[in-house]
Amino acid sequence: MKKYIDINDIKNIPLIIKEAIDLKKAPFQYKNLGTNKTLIMLFFNASLRTRLSTEKAAKNLGMDVICLQINNSWNLEFEDGTIMNLNTSEHIKEAAKVIAQYADIIAVRAFPTLIEKEKDNAEIIINSFSKYSNIPVLNLESATAHPLQALADAITINEFSKTRKPKVVLSWAPHPKALPQSVANSFVTMMQQLPVDFSITHPKDYELNSNITKNIKVNYNQEDALKDADFVYVKNWSSYDDYGKVLHQDTNWMITKNKLNNAKFMHCLPVRRNIVVEDAVLDSDDSLVIEQANNRTFAAQVVLKQILEKLNLKTENLTGF
């Protein structure tokens, strides 16, 4: 693997899930793979799980890790040809090249504006790092995608599935703040590549990007959609059509124990208790949220391992005559 910016960078999803589960059983088996290699993680936005699990994953592979809360630095300019006489102090063209001299892999978290839809869809920040750094880039949640979360979710479904083709439902839930569509987008993309019976339920007007959800069943009746589900993945997202808006916070869409029935509950975290989901679900054995968070380490580790193997191969090919 040369990079992991979106799910399509993985060639064989079932195989990578199997490899991640093998790593989970013996996390230090490739301790020498990352020797003398550095991962630089750049955070434009806050994180708990992504920050810690990715660092742990890199250290399990023997890498050195440097983490920069880049939003505390000066503002970077991403537009080409701009006269930089406003509040940006350094262009991505220099910044990315400079960082690449200190790193072997760059990992970036940069949320969407939720204001400028076209800019967000163009993934300007993460794609600029990839373009100008010329080294592998790992997506720690970008404007439209959270592929490491989706890989951890796929691993979790694989581990807890009791049938060959489980029924998986993605359900919208209310939230007071405008949240990105990235987790939902990547989950939908991932589910399309797995042997699952997948559908989405959300209120009207909360349609996701139709390029991502085409061919997926959408049911506006949550109760009906959740019937006989094995896994209910719950997430809030703001409107895509009325971009970035919270159109309503219908509390009837909160997930309750009653609605869940016998299904397992999944959420990427952080989650707002008794807004998105009631305590009785999160505090029950049917909640997989802690297992999902644990699998973030092995999702990151399998991706970093594959990138390191590619890098090491390149280095070997450069030596000798």
Question: Which amino acid is present at 18?
Answer: K
Binding part of the chain for ligand CP, among 45-53, 124-132, 198-206, 311-319 by CB under 6 A, reads 45-53
Q: Which residue of 142, 149, 287, 301 would you call a contact of ligand CP, by CB under 6 A?
A: 149
Our finding on whether 104 is near ligand CP (CB under 6 A) is no
Q: Six-digit token pair at 229? A: 């589900």
**Residue 213 interacting with ligand CP (CB under 6 A):** no
> Does a cis peptide bond (omega within 30 degrees of 0) precede residue 270?
yes
Regarding 103 and contact with ligand CP (CB under 6 A), the answer is no
- Asked if residue 71 binds ligand CP (CB under 6 A), the reply is no
Asked if residues 231 and 255 have their Cβ atoms less than 8 Å apart, the reply is: no
Residue choice 125, 268, 282, 289 for contact with ligand CP (CB under 6 A): 268
# binding residues, ligand CP (CB under 6 A): 8
Q: Which residues contact 74 (CB under 8 A, 6 or more apart)?
A: 88, 89, 90
CB of 220 to ligand CP, least distance (A): 27
End-to-end CA distance of the chain: 26
Nearer to ligand CP by C-beta: 255 or 268? 268
* Secondary structure (3-state) at 117: helix
Q: What are phi and psi of 245, to 5 degrees?
A: -90, 145
What distance in Å separates the CA atoms of residue 33 and residue 42, rounded to the nearest whole number?
22
Stretch of 46-54, 66-74, 205-213, 251-259 contacting ligand CP, by CB under 6 A = 46-54
By CB under 6 A, tell whether 67 contacts ligand CP.
Answer: no
Per the structure block, which two tokens stand in for 252? Answer: 């009837």
Interface residue with ligand CP, options 218, 269, 275, 280 (CB under 6 A): 269
DSSP 8-state secondary structure symbol assigned to residue 277: B
Q: Give the nearest distance from C-beta 308 to ligand CP in angstroms.
A: 22
Between 9 and 141, CB nearer to ligand CP? 141
CA 255, 259, 265, 267: dihedral to nearest 10 degrees?
-20
Per-residue binder mask for ligand CP (CB under 6 A), 167-206, x = binder: ----------------------------------------
Enclosing H/E stretch for 13: helix 13-25
> Taking CB under 6 A as the rule, which mask of x and - marks residues 1-40 in contact with ligand CP?
----------------------------------------
Helices (H), 192-236: 210-213, 222-226
Binding region for ligand CP (CB under 6 A): 47-50, 141, 149, 268-269
